[in-house]
Structure 1
Amino acid sequence: MPVCAQGHDSADDEFCDVCGLAFDGPAAAEAVAAQPEPEPEPKPCPVCGATLEARFCENCGADSLAVQTTEAPAAAEPVRAVQSWSVVVSADRAYFEKVKAEGGPDAEPIEFPPFCPERHFPLSGGQVTIGRRSQSRGILPDIDLTGPPEDIGVSRLHALLVAGPAGWSVVDMGSANGTYLNRAHTPLPANVPHPLEADDEIHLGAWTTLTIHPDA
């Protein structure tokens, strides 16, 4: 079935049944020439997203052809979320008994506290100080073990937790009674970072234990 220049289906092959337009001749050519071309759909600027009226964006001045022919940069790798860690401070009866058994001139008068609720401290930033505050000396540790109850075996600035690419480390700050890890018999060397793993126990003073662990 023939189709006229206006797009109509016609049973007659000389004149259109719908509009009467001849299929051949100058009238048909004029009708075809008279049809307006469809308007091109507007395109957004590849840089700012504004509607392009020409090659150059009127909003940001970007050359749309240059931008489109430039190879797009590779997508950046997603940034991994840094896992958060916390410290739980508790009174450790087993560590206290170990301190008493190993003795020392100051061990005898120390008593284990009858009640000492656990305390939780989130770890954040690059450094976290541990000790007992002293307003007169301007010592305000992030993990303040002043109490009550107060473990007098903990120095004012006893230890430091340091964040690194591989996790957290503990540093003894030259404390009077030392810093012990996981019930070791010898204290950590002063001013030397020691890497920590999940559920490691840091022992301070006469009965204080800090357990470090990642948050769920």
Structure 2
Amino acid sequence: MSTCPNGHPSETDDWCEVCGHRMSCAPVPAAAELCPDCGTPREDLAQFCEGCRYSFVTRTGTVSVPQSPPSQSSPRAEVPASSPTWTATVCVDHDHFARVMARSEPEDQGLYVPTHAPDLHIPLTRTVITIGRRHRSTGEPPFIDLDSHPEDPGVSHEHAILVQQPDFTWSLIDKGSTNGTTVNGAEDPVASYVPVPLKDGDRVHVGLWTTITVRRD
């Protein structure tokens, strides 16, 4: 069991399974500078924040996020009642599964896609939406929990996040997931920790067969 820079116990030694941050063998000093956008401790004299890619050099951020550490135990800001409402529709996507299998290793060819799984319609009621699977050590679920839809084994515990922008649109950020994240059927995954603006109807593909479509109500 390792401990991440934010103090969470984690059975994984690359990314913390509680908050999704990079693991480090050295503890973060108590006086470490905190990112003003997301609260992540600055690692040594790193130029960019590991959590949201805020630039400590230019003092500018890439996305607007709540000023609290991005852990599942921290409260998330609620979307104002007067703002436009959005919904994420989660489905088992056979086309996405076919694309994944087309570039998979031979030993993975025995995998199969579930045939009976209802779509999930999840209102996006927070300004930061976590996507992933429930953590085994803490039991904390992400906002969009892909642990039992049925469970998609290709999804990381903290795979990606959706971040609401000042104009009430959304941006997607892959959190350094193992298998990557694609958008609208693209072959190449998005770059980790780089915000990708989303439009009404855009499709986010994660894991082996999961597609999340964001729609403005």
TM-score > 0.5, shorter chain as reference: yes
- 1:105 CA drift (Å): 5.4
**RMSD of aligned residue pairs (Cα, Å):** 1.7
* TM-score normalized with structure 1 length: 0.60
Give deviations 1:1-43, integer Å, cap 9, x for gaps: xxxxxxxxxxxxxxxxxxxxxxxxxxxxxxxxxxxxxxxxxxx
- 1:165 CA drift (Å): 1.5
Task: Decide whether the 8 Å contact of 1:99 with 1:107 is kept in 2.
Answer: no
Give deviations 1:132-162, integer Å, cap 9, x for gaps: 0014055420110101421100111000000
Residue 85 (1) aligns with residue 86 (2): yes
The one-letter code matched in structure 1 to 2:205 is: H
Task: Decide whether the 8 Å contact of 1:139 with 1:156 is kept in 2.
Answer: no
Counterpart CA distance in 2 for 1:193 and 1:175 is 14
Match of 1:14 in 2: none
The one-letter code matched in structure 2 to 1:212 is: V
Counterpart CA distance in 1 for 2:181 and 2:112 is 19
Task: Decide whether the 8 Å contact of 1:130 with 1:144 is kept in 2.
Answer: yes
Q: Which has the larger Rg?
A: 1
Which one has more relative contact order, counting CA pairs under 8 Å at least 6 apart? 2
The one-letter code matched in structure 2 to 1:168 is: W
Residue 206 (1) aligns with residue 212 (2): no
Residue 114 (1) aligns with residue 115 (2): yes
- 1:122 CA drift (Å): 0.7
Residue 155 (1) aligns with residue 156 (2): yes
Match of 1:95 in 2: 96
- 1:179 CA drift (Å): 0.4
Which has more helix, going by share of residues?
A: 1
Gaps of 5+ in 1: 1-79
Match of 1:194 in 2: 196
* TM-score normalized with structure 2 length: 0.59
Could you say what secondary structure the match of 1:89 adopts?
Answer: strand
Deviation beyond 4 Å, 4+ runs, structure 1: none
Gaps of 5+ in 2: 1-80
Percent identical residues: 42
